[in-house]
Amino acid sequence: MKRPVVIGIAGGSASGKTSIAKELYDICNKEAKKVAIIRQDDYYKDQSHMSMEDRTKTNYDHPFAFDNDLLVNHLDALIRYEAINKPTYDFVNHTRSDKTESIEPLDVIILEGLFVLENEDIRRRLDIKIFVDTDADIRFIRRLTRDVNERGRTLESVISQYVNTVRKMHNEFLEPSKRYADVIIPEGKENVVAIDLVATKIASILNGK
């Protein structure tokens, strides 16, 4: 039975996961649209029933912050070549958005997110497992810039979250998940050689179907 190639891209916050996913998307979609990207960030749990104060207290860098049951169900549907309505997340209001995104089933599914390799149920569905390994200081600078400019956070809140939760959760959950990776890519999208090698592998799998 025909099955899509499922690729998982994990790594620390602001390590370059999204950039690598986009690079692979662009490379593999040059001739025809073959790749769909799913972001684990969109599967943060719905917190609309909580006050804003309580939402800000959530540890967003812990695996329990994600609705991985829904994510696995959606992965299984895409693997069966069924379309899904993917949730989207509102990072300003710290809860799931009312908007959904229709994702059509394609021959390559790229799933990128913090805990893509940490979760066993997700891991079992991956054909290629990638870990993006970027220095902590670079990740912090990128996260600071992103959260202030794109997610409406204050400088103080980003620093506090990094010191109190992000760094600890990275060491406890993310760093150990690196051992499950088939490929470790240092420095994110700047590692052109590694990205080309993964793209070549994807092409060889597709051509062999």
The listed range with the strongest mean pLDDT (19-28, 109-118, 153-162) is 109-118
Q: Mind listing the pLDDT tens digit for each residue in 53-79?
A: 999 889 999 999 999 999 999 999 999
Helices first, then strands: H and E counts in the chain? 9, 7
Which of 128, 124, 152, 114 is closest to 15 using CA atoms?
114
> 3-class DSSP state for residue 66?
strand
Kindly report the pTM of this predicted structure: 0.89
Range of the domain at 62: 5-207
Token look-up 């769909």 returns 36
- Are the C-beta atoms of 109 and 115 separated by less than 8 Å? no
* CATH number assigned to the domain comprising residue 136: 3.40.50.300
pLDDT for residue 152 is more than 90? no
Residue 14: which pLDDT band, with cuts at 50, 70 and 90? confident
Percentage of the residues of the chain whose pLDDT score is greater than 90: 67
Q: How many domains does the chain have?
A: 1
d(CA 132, CA 141): 16
- Measured between its terminal Cα atoms, the distance across the chain in Å is 10
Q: Mind listing the pLDDT tens digit for each residue in 75-112?
A: 999 999 999 999 999 988 999 999 999 999 999 999 99
Q: Mind listing the pLDDT tens digit for each residue in 167-199?
A: 999 999 999 999 999 999 987 778 889 999 999
For helices 192-207 and 17-28, what crossing angle results, to 10°?
Answer: 50
Which of 21, 39, 38, 41 is closest to 106 using CA atoms?
38
Residue 11: which pLDDT band, with cuts at 50, 70 and 90? very high
Mean pLDDT of the chain: 92
Which of 19, 64, 58 is closest to 37 using CA atoms?
19
